[in-house]
Structure 1
Amino acid sequence: MALKITVIGTGYLGATHAAAMAELGFEVLGLDVAPEKIEMLAAGRVPMYEPGLEELLRRHVAGQDGSTGRLRFTTSWEEVGAFGDVHFVCVNTPQKHGEYACDMSYVESAFASLAPVVRDGSLVVGKSTVPVGSAQRLAEWLPEGAELAWNPEFLREGFAVQDTLHPDRIVIGVASERAEKLLREVYATPLGEGSPFVVTDFPTAELVKTSANSFLATKISFINAMAEVCEAAGGDVAKLAEAIGHDERIGKKFLRAGIGFGGGCLPKDIRAFMARAGELGADQALTFLREIDSINMRRRGQMVEMAREALGDGSFLGRRVAVLGAAFKPDSDDVRDSPALNVAGQIHLQGGQVTVYDPKGMDNARRLFPTLGYADSALEAVRGADVVLHLTEWAEFRELDPAELGAVATRRVVLDGRNALDAARWREAGWTYRAMGRPHA
Structure 2
Amino acid sequence: MNERKEKIVILGYGWVGQANALALVRMGYEVFYYDVVIPKKNYQEYEEIYRKIKSLRKPLDAESPETWYLICVGDRVSSDGVQDISLIAKALDAIREAKGRIILRSTVLPQHLSKLNFDYYLPEFLHELKAVEECLQPSHLIIGKKNPELLDPGFLNVWRARSRKVFDGTPYQASYIKYLSNVWNALRIAFVNEWGDAMIRQGGLSSSETQEAINFFFEKKSYLRYGKSFGGHCLPKDALAFMAMHKDAPLFNAILASNTAHQEIEKINADLPTWFSFWEQNKNSEKDMAVWPYLWSKLNALKLIKSARKKAKPLVHFFINRMINERNALLRAKKNWNKLGVANARYYVNVGTKSNELVDEFELKETGLADYKRYIMDDDLISKKLGNLKEKSVLEIGGGIGRMTEFLSKNFKEVCAIDISEVMTEQAKKRLAEFSNIKLIVNDGQSIPFANNYFDLVYSQQVFKHVPTYGAVNNYFKEVARSLKAGGVAKIQLRTGPGVQKWKPTYGVSFDQDRAKQMAEKSGLRFIKHQFDGDRNFWIWLDK
Same fold (TM over 0.5): yes
Aligned residues: 290
Is 1:118 aligned with 2:98? yes
**Alpha-carbon deviations, 1:80-118, whole Å to 9, x = none?**
44476211100011223x432222111111112111x30
Q: What is residue 28 of structure 2 aligned with on the other side?
A: 25
Match of 2:180 among 211, 217, 221: 211
Q: What is residue 40 of structure 1 aligned with on the other side?
A: none
Q: What code does the residue aligned with 1:164 have?
A: C
Gaps of 5+ in 2: 300-544
Deviation at 1:52, TM superposition (A): 3.8
Match of 1:5 among 5, 8, 17: 8
Distance 1:218 1:381 in 2: 42
Is 1:359 aligned with 2:283? no
Match of 1:284 among 248, 253, 257: 248
Change in Cα spacing, 1:258 to 1:175, as seen in structure 2 (3 Å) is same
1:29-178 correspondence to structure 2 within 5 Å: 29-34=32-37, 36-37=38-39, 46-48=40-42, 50=43, 52-58=45-51, 61=52, 71-82=53-64, 85-96=67-78, 98-115=79-96, 117-119=97-99, 122-139=100-117, 148-178=119-149
In our comparison, the structure showing a higher alpha carbon Rg is: 2
Structure number with greater CO (CA < 8 Å, separation at least 6) is: 1
* 2:167 aligned counterpart, secondary structure: strand
* 2:119 aligned counterpart, secondary structure: strand
Gaps of 5+ in 1: 38-45, 62-70, 140-146, 278-282, 308-322, 335-339, 341-356, 363-373, 384-441
Q: What code does the residue aligned with 1:74 have?
A: L
Q: What code does the residue aligned with 2:165 have?
A: P
Distance 1:331 1:379 in 2: 25
Structure 1 runs of 4+ aligned residues shifted over 4 Å read 323-326, 328-332, 374-383
Distance 1:191 1:381 in 2: 52
Q: Provide TM-score, normalisation by structure 1.
A: 0.58
1:223-262 correspondence to structure 2 within 5 Å: 223-231=192-200, 232-235=202-205, 236-245=209-218, 252-262=221-231
1:352-391 correspondence to structure 2 within 5 Å: 359=286, 376-377=292-293
Distance 1:156 1:174 in 2: 24
Distance 1:188 1:378 in 2: 50
Whether the aligned pair in 2 keeps the contact of 1:135 and 1:203 (CA below 8 Å) is yes
Deviation at 1:304, TM superposition (A): 2.9
Q: What code does the residue aligned with 1:245 have?
A: F
Deviation at 1:167, TM superposition (A): 0.5
Change in Cα spacing, 1:257 to 1:51, as seen in structure 2 (3 Å) is farther
Q: What is residue 300 of structure 1 aligned with on the other side?
A: 263
Change in Cα spacing, 1:240 to 1:324, as seen in structure 2 (3 Å) is closer
Q: CA RMSD in A?
A: 3.5
Whether the aligned pair in 1 keeps the contact of 2:10 and 2:72 (CA below 8 Å) is yes
Whether the aligned pair in 1 keeps the contact of 2:193 and 2:227 (CA below 8 Å) is yes
* 1:75 aligned counterpart, secondary structure: coil
Change in Cα spacing, 1:301 to 1:75, as seen in structure 2 (3 Å) is farther
Change in Cα spacing, 1:159 to 1:382, as seen in structure 2 (3 Å) is farther
Change in Cα spacing, 1:196 to 1:258, as seen in structure 2 (3 Å) is closer
| Identical amino acids, percent of aligned pairs | 24
* 1:5 aligned counterpart, secondary structure: strand
Change in Cα spacing, 1:306 to 1:189, as seen in structure 2 (3 Å) is closer
Distance 1:267 1:99 in 2: 12
Deviation at 1:128, TM superposition (A): 0.6
**Alpha-carbon deviations, 1:250-277, whole Å to 9, x = none?**
x833222123111111001100111233
Distance 2:89 2:285 in 1: 36
* 1:172 aligned counterpart, secondary structure: strand
1:184-195 correspondence to structure 2 within 5 Å: 185-193=154-162, 195=164
Change in Cα spacing, 1:31 to 1:382, as seen in structure 2 (3 Å) is same
Q: What code does the residue aligned with 1:118 have?
A: A
**Alpha-carbon deviations, 1:204-238, whole Å to 9, x = none?**
10111111011111111111101111012124322
Whether the aligned pair in 1 keeps the contact of 2:12 and 2:71 (CA below 8 Å) is yes
Whether the aligned pair in 1 keeps the contact of 2:194 and 2:262 (CA below 8 Å) is no
Distance 1:220 1:159 in 2: 20
Q: What code does the residue aligned with 2:74 have?
A: N
Distance 1:378 1:224 in 2: 32
